[in-house]
Structure 1
Amino acid sequence: MSSSHPYLKISATKAITRPGDIEHLPQLSEQLSALYLNPEYSDVVLLVEDQKLHAHKVILAARSEYFRALLYGGLKESTQNEIVLPDAPLNAFKILLKYIYTGHMFLMTLKEDVILDTLGLAHQYGFEDLELAISDILRQLLALRNVCAILDTARLYGLDKLVTVCHTFLDKHACEILVHDSFLTLSQDALVQLLERDSFFAPEVEIFKGVCNWCKTNEDIEDRVMKCVRLPLMSVADLLSVVRSAGLVKPDALLDAIADRTNSRISNLPHRGILATDINIACPQMGSKVIAGELPEFLLDGDNYSYDMDKGYTRHAINLPGDEGIIIKLGVPSIINHIRMLLWDRDIRSYSYYVEVSMEQKDWVRVVDYSQYCCRSWQYLYFDTRVVHYIRIVGTHNTVNKVFHLVTFECMYKQNIPKMANDIIVPNQNVATVEQNAVVIEGVSRARNALLNGDTKQYDWDSGYTCHQLGSGAILIQLSQPYVLSSLRLLLWDCDDRSYSYYIESSVNIWEWEMVVDNTRESCKSWQVIKFPPRPVVFIRIVGTHNTANEVFHCVHFECPSCEDVNTPQSCSVTIAGSSRARNVDVPMTQEEPTETASEAEEIVDAPTNLNHL
């Protein structure tokens, strides 16, 4: 029912019965329902398949814009007492007419062809809410015997959500539908759209046989359907024995397919695979297994908590001749664009690695290359969507020893992916947090995570900040993986009127540093917003050079990218916000020093532990 009909707009506000109100809605509904097909008071007869159906113009017009235009829009039908509806199926129209009078329709006991006819009438007469409701019911009724008819109907009426549901169902039952009788009833356009999907996964020779059967009962105009069969995915033996004998493929096309099969890189062929959105397919339940790497039983068990120095991870030796890395074989070729994996992180070590994928373990394609970056803990990796059967993770560096340790591995297809630049995430929210596995690896604080815990209110003279002695050391933050950053924000300790000078550098490997901002000649207070040209970043080093009050540099909060939307002039790389702000801190009238010095506070970096045997 069209929501634009001036008489059909219903307030979304629930009716409120006040004291003294009288409400007899059930009686009204019952009495209106009694007018269905009742010749009493009828002023129009609808002729459907030569059967006369008595109706009432005002009710039809109030319920449907189509009938309002037909009966009161100045057309010739406006003056007729009998109107022929030539294209309406009788059974479906009577069901719709009863819905017009009662607002109720029960479809579960009806035959599927009647339901589809009713859907068509709902679309024709502008009952949009009913159209969506019938679509929802059809989703529940999907089966091999009816999915093709429902798909064609959904495409005809532009019901995109129902089309998507049908495609997903057909993807899951590709092999069964290819040999089902209903497959032969698909329209050419619907079949072309289906076969063009990478997720319609079945052996290509079976797809070819199904298309051959379809061509026997349907006309393949301009060979549009046959062109959707991916001949290079078939073996040369199948091309010569099955395809050639069918006589439906031109000899030149057959020779081209054989040439592509034998000469092209396997990774460049138009593979098909299953598509499971937001579902981890690297698990034993999906048939996946680890086929290379030591201690393979731990990687796919889903346990990312119970691991220590001796167990709970899969490993391989770095740079050992003949070592292939860690290889996962998925249960079936699958469409993925996202990997989530956990590097062993019980200390502050870092790893470097790369990830490759393959279909047949012969032609490997590198989709992630973090061999030049220091990474730790959870890794969130995104790459171009592709069909994958094998995944290989190869460690290239470990800051502690020569072994690469992987605790957990997951892969899937994500419909929504973050912005990327050269295969590195460009974050739109703060990634320097404990939740994102960032750590402070150098600096002094009473609480290990004070700098990254997001608390910008609860700090005072004794706690809530991280510091270092001027002229010695720095505050060093490590992100879990490289991110492309172009801004950061920090809060300098500001419980009095002191000012600081400092500079900030960034690195991807901790030995090569690039200046982010040099404020060594500036007097800086409170919030600092720094913007700079985009670059990959793993490490951020903040070095204080001056404090007007003492010999310690104090920083309360750090984030990257900056979460504050600041209008910064193009010529200015640093925006300093004012220090006046609401804070639950009582500032003493006298000028006190922070009681904590860099030598008195707790060191963030723990004493090194001998983990070389890990």
Structure 2
Amino acid sequence: MDSFPELRNYYLSEMNSDLTLVVEGHRLPAHRFVLAAKSPVFNAMFYGDLMESTAREVDIREAPVDAFRVMLRYIYSERFEMDNDKDFQQAIQVFKLGHRYQLHRLVQYIEQYLITMLKKHNYIRLSDTITSASYDDFLRSRRFDNSLLSVIDNIATIYEFAVLYELTELVNACQRFIAKNSKLIVKKKSYLTESFDTMESILGLMQTNPAVIVQALQKIRDQHPGADMSQFERLVNFDTCSVDDIQSVRTIRLFSDDKLFDVLIAKYKTLQLEMNKVVKDRRA
């Protein structure tokens, strides 16, 4: 609820404006007392010993202008509103600005907004046989909520952001979402990032069969052909891998040929013991 609802009328208004904020070349009229009342950082800028305290025009650096407008709207109205409620990238940008200017209630709103978007969707039952190329048709045919697809497209970014800012509740919500939507995340390749630690963590959360994990590792190898992928070794459970899965692992060159040979020999011996047991039972 707005503390001073009349302040909304002053958002981006020239009326009684005593300050212009320049963000990415855009000139945004503002009011020192409003900004200072909501943000300790703005208060120090405009009523402290900093040069901004007497400046009529202040350049705001490293701030996307659309995200900055959303933050300003919140300052004047105490409402977190975006033009596109499925723009998770912008929501994260606004969070970072809120964190930068110590708008604690705003960052709490955004964390809860992201958690709500993760929790509101049921997972998609995706067939193992569907191809990456046809997944768009598959989804359209079932008329899934576009916000679910947007979450899937951005899950790596959201998860990485939640870990970076130590947002425990959001991290937990991401982990549950990843576990439930493993197959589609792999089909969409939305786990791919520049961070090996993030990709390893996401794949480690997936509750799916070995073939899907191997497929994901192959995509990582394709994206980073010369990189050391040894940290992903823990993700391959040879006890549940088929011979075909092991052959696929070999193409990734995640393990040495000697290691894979030993795995195949062990599987052959296990299979031979099982066959001998079946034969013995039939003769009994």
> Which TM-score applies when normalising by structure 2?
0.72
**1:209 is aligned to 2:209:** no
Which amino acid in structure 2 is aligned with residue 85 of structure 1? I
| 2:114 counterpart SS class | helix
| 2:12 counterpart SS class | coil
**1:90 is aligned to 2:96:** no
| 1:148 counterpart SS class | helix
**1:194 is aligned to 2:194:** no
Aligned equivalent of 1:127, options 95, 103, 106: 103
- Cα deviation, 1:101-148, whole Å, max 9, x if unaligned, reads 111223484333322222222222222222121122222323322322
The structure richer in strand per residue is: 1
Aligned equivalent of 2:47, options 72, 83, 99: 72
CA distance in 1 between partners of 2:203 and 2:260 (Å): 19
- Cα deviation, 1:305-350, whole Å, max 9, x if unaligned, reads xxxxxxxxxxxxxxxxxxxxxxxxxxxxxxxxxxxxxxxxxxxxxx
Which amino acid in structure 2 is aligned with residue 94 of structure 1? R
**1:155 is aligned to 2:155:** no
Counterpart in 2 of 1:136?
A: 112
Counterpart in 2 of 1:226?
A: 232
Deviation at 1:187, TM superposition (A): 3.2
CA distance in 2 between partners of 1:82 and 1:63 (Å): 19
CA distance in 2 between partners of 1:134 and 1:58 (Å): 25
Deviation at 1:261, TM superposition (A): 6.0
Contact 2:74 / 2:81 at 8 angstroms: preserved in 1? no
| 1:39 counterpart SS class | coil
Kindly report the root-mean-square deviation, in angstroms, between the aligned alpha carbons of the 2 structures: 3.0
CA distance in 2 between partners of 1:262 and 1:126 (Å): 61
Aligned equivalent of 1:54, options 29, 35, 58: 29
Deviation at 1:86, TM superposition (A): 1.9
Contact 1:236 / 1:258 at 8 angstroms: preserved in 2? no
Which amino acid in structure 2 is aligned with residue 170 of structure 1? I
- Max radius of gyration: which structure? 1
Deviation at 1:151, TM superposition (A): 1.3
CA distance in 1 between partners of 2:14 and 2:25 (Å): 17
CA distance in 2 between partners of 1:216 and 1:133 (Å): 38
Counterpart in 2 of 1:184?
A: 192
Counterpart in 2 of 1:105?
A: 80
Q: Which has the higher contact order (CA 8 A, sep 6+)?
A: 2
CA distance in 2 between partners of 1:224 and 1:74 (Å): 52
Counterpart in 2 of 1:346?
A: none
Contact 1:205 / 1:234 at 8 angstroms: preserved in 2? no
CA distance in 2 between partners of 1:75 and 1:260 (Å): 70
| 2:162 counterpart SS class | helix
- Show the 5 A alignment for 1:229-244: 229-235=235-241, 237-244=243-250
| 2:10 counterpart SS class | coil
The structure-2 alpha-carbon separation of the partners of 1:245 and 1:215, relative to structure 1 and needing over 3 Å to count, comes to closer
CA distance in 2 between partners of 1:108 and 1:257 (Å): 54
CA distance in 1 between partners of 2:49 and 2:259 (Å): 59
Deviation at 1:62, TM superposition (A): 1.2
**1:249 is aligned to 2:224:** no
Give aligned pairs, total.
237
Instruction: Tell me the percent identity.
Output: 28
Deviation at 1:167, TM superposition (A): 0.6
- Cα deviation, 1:465-508, whole Å, max 9, x if unaligned, reads xxxxxxxxxxxxxxxxxxxxxxxxxxxxxxxxxxxxxxxxxxxx
Counterpart in 1 of 2:121?
A: none
Contact 1:151 / 1:166 at 8 angstroms: preserved in 2? yes
CA distance in 2 between partners of 1:46 and 1:263 (Å): 72
Runs of 5+ consecutive residues of structure 1 not aligned to the other structure: 1-24, 265-361, 363-614
Runs of 5+ consecutive residues of structure 2 not aligned to the other structure: 119-147, 271-276, 278-284
Which amino acid in structure 1 is aligned with residue 180 of structure 2? K
| 1:232 counterpart SS class | coil
Which amino acid in structure 2 is aligned with residue 230 of structure 1? V
> Which TM-score applies when normalising by structure 1?
0.35
Deviation at 1:253, TM superposition (A): 4.3
The structure-2 alpha-carbon separation of the partners of 1:52 and 1:44, relative to structure 1 and needing over 3 Å to count, comes to same
CA distance in 1 between partners of 2:266 and 2:50 (Å): 62
CA distance in 1 between partners of 2:189 and 2:215 (Å): 13
The structure richer in helix per residue is: 2
Deviation at 1:238, TM superposition (A): 2.8
Contact 1:184 / 1:214 at 8 angstroms: preserved in 2? yes
Which amino acid in structure 1 is aligned with residue 175 of structure 2? H
Which amino acid in structure 2 is aligned with residue 158 of structure 1? E
| 1:167 counterpart SS class | helix
CA distance in 2 between partners of 1:219 and 1:29 (Å): 56
Deviation at 1:162, TM superposition (A): 0.5
Contact 2:229 / 2:254 at 8 angstroms: preserved in 1? no
